[in-house]
Amino acid sequence: MTDVVRKDVQKKLLSGDYGCAKELTLSMFSGKWKIVILYHLGKDGIYRFGELKKLLPHASNKVLTQQLRELEEDELITRTLYPEVPVRVDYEITALGQTLLPIIDLMFEWGTNRLKQLKHVAPRNINEEAIKKKR
Amino acid sequence: MTDVVRKDVQKKLLSGDYGCAKELTLSMFSGKWKIVILYHLGKDGIYRFGELKKLLPHASNKVLTQQLRELEEDELITRTLYPEVPVRVDYEITALGQTLLPIIDLMFEWGTNRLKQLKHVAPRNINEEAIKKKR
DNA sequence: CGGTATCCTTTAGGATACTG
DNA sequence: CAGTATCCTAAAGGATACCG
């Protein structure tokens, strides 16, 4: 899921149902590349489309564009087009987007600690879990 | 998306690729009802399956069970079965799961603030955005 | 360069009926 | 009571080709 949540939240907003604050926040990240995009824009400043593509070589044109458009809709990033030849497009994080950075940092921290733990229980355990999943 | 991320992270763990700490954390929440489940278990203590169902009336049996199983796999909650008649099953958050609560709290806080802002820009704006999306 | 357009696959999520 | 089992659909994500 992920964008199930996003659409759900949007629907609730439209119908005047202003509950589910956590879900609203979660829906900001939900999308395969959104966290990473926000992270880099928050950390390094401005990126051009092509630069983001290099950063995320596994993201297809379509999906990357889609994620950027949604982040823009959510007012977390801005898109600036310079009508030069060839065209240039800059993506930058907004003030609102920056307010998400502390959360992303916490997530990074938690994930890092958890990865350390998972290494200690030895890779074999992880494999066993994976096998268990296949049943 | 959402569990795209979860499976992605699991794959990376298996192949020894221990990057993507943020994604690991995100994958803990990704799933339509996971945050809410963690939130309630973290706040109120133990819940039985039926109680969770009442709390989440829109979740189907299948999906709710699935989310609980994944949370258990990720070691965020425990499942305890009491072989009484009729059977009883308790769900409880683990110590690891509790370490996610600060993040969830932050998400709740961010979402609440954002909802306030969105109310102030007036519902009409939101409708315009929604219309824009339909193109 | 920064995308669209098109087509395709996968899978998350859901409705309903049934069971130990 | 606490789930499985089955079937279904919507939509997220991806590959590739083309465009202003």
pLDDT(B133) > 50: no
CA-CA distance, A14 to B130, in Å (whole number)? 8
Tokens of A62: 């379509």
> Which nucleotides of strand D lie within 7 A of protein CB?
1-6, 11-17, 20
CA–C1' distance A25–C5 (Å)?
32
CA B59 to chain centre: 12
pLDDT at B134 over 70: no
Range 16-75 of B in CB contact (< 8 A) with A: 16, 18, 20-26, 29-32, 35-36, 39, 73
What was the pLDDT predicted at B15?
60
Single-letter amino acid, residue B101 = L
CA distance A18 to chain B (A): 7
* Ranges of chain A whose pLDDT falls below 70: 1-5, 11-19, 122-135
Are the Cβ atoms of B114 and A21 closer than 8 angstroms? yes
Q: How far apart are the CA of B125 and the nearest CA of chain A, in angstroms?
A: 10
Query: Which residue from A32, A108, A133 is facing B5, i.e. has the nearest CB?
Result: A32
**Torsion angles phi and psi, residue A119, rounded to 5:** -65, -40
Supply the pTM of this predicted model: 0.85
Task: List the one residue out of B31, B6, B110 whose CA is nearest residue A96.
Answer: B110
Residue A134's pLDDT is: 35
Chain B within 8 Å of A122 (Cβ-Cβ)? no
Chain A residues with CB-CB distance to B129 below 8 A: 73
- The predicted-structure confidence for B21-75, as pLDDT tens digits, reads as follows 999 999 999 999 999 999 999 999 999 999 999 999 999 999 999 999 999 999 9
Confidence (pLDDT) at B10: 75
Cβ–Cβ under 8 Å, residues A2 and B4: yes
* B110: contact with A, CB 8 A cutoff: yes
- Is the per-residue pLDDT at B119 higher than 70? yes
Give A71 or B7, the one with higher predicted confidence. A71
Assign B122 a pLDDT band (cuts: 50, 70, 90): low
Please report how many Cα atoms fall inside a 13 Å half-sphere around the Cα of residue A69, on the Cβ side: 9
Cα-Cα-Cα-Cα torsion B51, A26, A58, B21, nearest 10 degrees, comes to: -80
Degrees (nearest 5) of the Cα angle B110, B116, B121? 125
User: What count of CB pairs under 8 Å joins A to B?
Assistant: 127
Identify the pLDDT of residue A2. 59
